[in-house]
Amino acid sequence: MTGMGVSRRWWAAGLGLVLTLATVPGCDSNAGLVSVEVGGEPGTKPIVTYVAPLSVSGTYRRTIWEGTGPLLVDDQPVLLDFYQEDARDASVVLQTYDAGPGCVMVTRAGQAPSCGPRPVTRELSRETLGDDLFHTLRGQRAGARLLQVAPAPRSGEHRFPTVTVIDVLPLRANGVSVPPRADVELPTVTLGPRGVPSINPISDEPPENVVTQPLLHGSGEQVTSQDTMTFQYAMFTWNGDAVDSSWERGQAESQPLELLPSVLSEWFVDQPVGSQVMVVVPPTEVLWISHSMEYKGKTFVLVVDILSTRTPEGGP
């Protein structure tokens, strides 16, 4: 079941372009590069300043700021925001920061879902990322902002030097544990080694109304109603059967809150990034799988990790 899973062919192809441009085997030099300055606050699109055309004879990499989150592990997923320019004229090649239309989970008027810019999840390996980007990311921690300047690749259609800024995002919530509610009995949540949640169901009848239980309280930016939020989620039935999961698909979701079912979006507003929330949704509420006869009349338990949030340009 892939209720939130939608076609990402355009962005997957875009990332493939980025990785192709970033892959120049055998080139690794930090000397003799014209100055490149990177500004901008964490969680926002970087501001890159240099004099174009930029002469690039070898790969240059710099850590703009260190990450304080989990260490990246070889052959495990990484979640990345990136901003890339053609170093010849400073034109934007691809970027994931501007909050576009997002991925609509439920088709509307027969239209297929569409995706806008969003962070991408990839495996930390040479085979997936190419030598240069793998080398840039290896040994870094979630939260880092990195600069990579690479010469034109020796093959491929897009043979031009690039300036790329990469933000390494966390793949799981990292907040402080919150005590369970005393007024209602709810399933407990167990986390696997990578943070993948599972639930331990209880025999009590499910609640008739929506119930939320904060599990971890983050310390990041608060989510607003105008934001596009990036998150991991796992969905279960009340008796513990797995229904849907971004973890299983290997891709965190990014959704404008206004496009999420209201039963979820209203509970995410004002939550800080880094939080994990459990939401119990009775069958009277509408979710993206409510039309499925398989789950008709079911109560669902969602465990959501809030990884990042951003307000569209021009928003409050």
Write down the pLDDT at residue 281: 95
Same domain, 135 and 218: no
Same domain, 160 and 182: no
Checking if the pLDDT of 24 tops 50, the result is: no
Checking if the pLDDT of 223 tops 60, the result is: yes
pTM for the full model?
0.80
Same domain, 164 and 250: no
Domain end marker among 114, 136, 169: 169
Same domain, 71 and 188: no
Higher pLDDT, 294 or 124: 124
Write down the pLDDT at residue 288: 75
Q: What's the pLDDT tens digit per position in 249-264?
A: 888 888 889 888 888 8
Write down the pLDDT at residue 277: 96
Domain presence at residue 3: no
Q: Please give the Cα distance from 104 to 256 (Å, whole number).
A: 9
**Average pLDDT over the chain, rounded to whole?**
83
Same domain, 143 and 232: no
Higher pLDDT, 65 or 312: 65
